[in-house]
Amino acid sequence: MRKRLRKKLRLREFREDCLPLNFNMQADLSADERNKILDRFIQMIEDAGLQFGGGGRGTEWSGIAETCGRGSVTAEHRRTVLEWLERQPQILNATAGPLIDGWYGSP
C-alpha cells in the first residue's frame, strides 16, 4: 500500500493511538463537588494537549483521551493522566487501559 493511502486511512506509521480511561468518584460528593473535580480534570487534559470524549452518571466515569488534531497519545501522556487521577482524594479506582487504535479500535 502506498504511503499516501496509508496516511489517508491512518494505518501503520500514521496510526493514532488513544487512551481508554475509567474512574469512580466518592459516592458522598455533591453534584457541585463532582462538577468541580470534572472541571479540574478537563483542564488537566487540555493542558496536556489532549481532549476527552466520554462521560458518566454520578460516580462512574469512562471515556477516551486523545490528542488534539493528528497524533497519538504517548506513554508520558498516560503517566501524566493516571498520576493526576491518583492524586485526587475524591477519585477512586482510576484505571487506564492499553493504548488503542483510535480509528480501528485494536490494541
pLDDT for the residue numbered 53: 95
For 44-100, the pLDDT digits (tens) are 999 999 999 999 988 999 999 999 988 999 999 999 999 999 999 999 999 999 999
Looking at CATH, the fold of the domain delimited by 15-101 is given as Alpha-Beta Plaits (3.30.70)
Which three-class secondary structure state does DSSP give residue 27? coil
Evaluate if residue 105 carries a pLDDT over 90. no
Residue for grid cell 497524533: 71
The 10 Å CB-count burial string (b at 16+, else e) for 76-107 is: ebbebbbebbeebeebeebebeebbebeeeee
Q: Where are the domains of the chain?
A: 15-101
95 grid coordinates: 484505571
For 3-40, the pLDDT digits (tens) are 999 988 888 989 999 999 999 999 999 999 999 999 99
pLDDT for the residue numbered 39: 97
